[in-house]
Chain A
Amino acid sequence: MVNDEGQLYTIEGVAAGMIMLFTTYLVLGATSVYTPGDTHISDMQLEQIGTDALVMMNTPVNGTVKSNLTEIVETSRINATAADETFNTTFLKYVNERTGSESDNLHYMADVTYRSDLTDNSITSYQLACTHNRIMNAGDHPVRVTEWVIADKQFPGSVNHPRAVLVEVLLWRD
């Protein structure tokens, strides 16, 4: 500096600059950039809802009876329509329940996978149930939730053996 004039103006200028920068910082901080990696947040919530619903269905009311889900899987070997009905009602009731009168809009597709050949360990899946008025479209973004079930009814490849089968549910919101 050649002379000492205008020092107060300079300080004021610097202060104003700081305020402007701080404002910019606040504005930028208030908005968030939604990156592709952030989709996991909604996915995780959906996965948790689905897992919770399946765990609830697979919890027996006491130690001597079978769980809802076990009975549905066992029924599905004899009467697929009845199993589909029961699963559909119970599962949709659990996942679509929300505070207030409006229900959520989740849809699903449920499969059962089992080991079909005891010697070469090949596996087979069949459809257990699905949302009745909907099919999965290309734009839907489903998550997969699973639940293990020990079922007593006959699965091919064994006689009078309880079997461990996997219930897999694709769940999506629209």
Chain B
Amino acid sequence: MARLNEDAQWIVLMGFVVSFSFFFLAMILNQSTVVGQTTAESVVEFPKNDIRDVRNIIINSSYITDNNKFAVIQQDITTLSLSRKGAVVSYSVTHPTGLDTYTHITIHYNNGVTEYNENWTSS
């Protein structure tokens, strides 16, 4: 356009500026939806309450010292976790023996997305 016709340079300039700005704004807007989606998914997928809850009942169940009764409860927790929450839960309790006066619990939790393992010791 230079030297041919010098009218409306201002309009052309602003046209460029505005079109580039729209391009970047569109890019930002586009990314925000993707970010929202992935954040939502990771928040929804993380089983915070499930882990807390099952951990709580496992520790409570360790106070049952009768081996038969404990085995029934342990099987209850494993079965219900698998069928109602889709999580594989496995745990074992070691009661105080000899010089070791603490109760030790090994907890394994896995729902296919999140895995949680803990060695719990009574205090």
Q: Give me the interface of A with B, judged by CB distance under 8 Å.
A: 2, 10, 13-14, 17, 21, 24-25, 28, 33, 35-40, 43-44, 47, 51, 113-115, 118, 121, 123, 145-150, 158, 161-166, 168
Contacts and interface: CB of A to CB of B under 8 A. Distances in A.
A38 B53 contact: no
Interface string B101-115: 000000000000000
Interface of B: 3, 6, 10, 13-14, 17-18, 21, 25, 29, 32-33, 36-37, 39-41, 43-44, 49-50, 53-54, 56-57, 60-61, 64, 68-69, 72-73, 75-77, 79-80, 83-85
A17 B14 contact: yes
Contact of B83 (A17, A123, A164): A123
Contacts of B84: 113, 123, 146, 166, 168
A164 B43 contact: no
Contact of A158 (B13, B14, B41, B72): B72
A22 to B, nearest CB: 10
A44 B37 CA distance: 15
Contacts, number: 98
Contact of B73 (A51, A113, A150): A150
Between B10, B32, B37, B40, the greatest number of chain A beta carbons within 10 A of the residue's beta carbon is seen for B40
Contact of B57 (A25, A39, A44, A164): A164
B24 to A, nearest CB: 10
B73 A162 contact: yes
B41 A115 contact: no
A150 B59 CA distance: 11
Nearest to B76: A164
Nearest to B37: A37
Contact of A146 (B14, B29, B50): B50
A115 B25 contact: no
The 4 closest A-B pairs by CB, nearest first: A37-B40, A148-B57, A164-B76, A37-B37
Contacts of B25: 24-25, 28
B77 A10 contact: no
Nearest to A34: B36
Nearest to A149: B57
Nearest to A125: B84
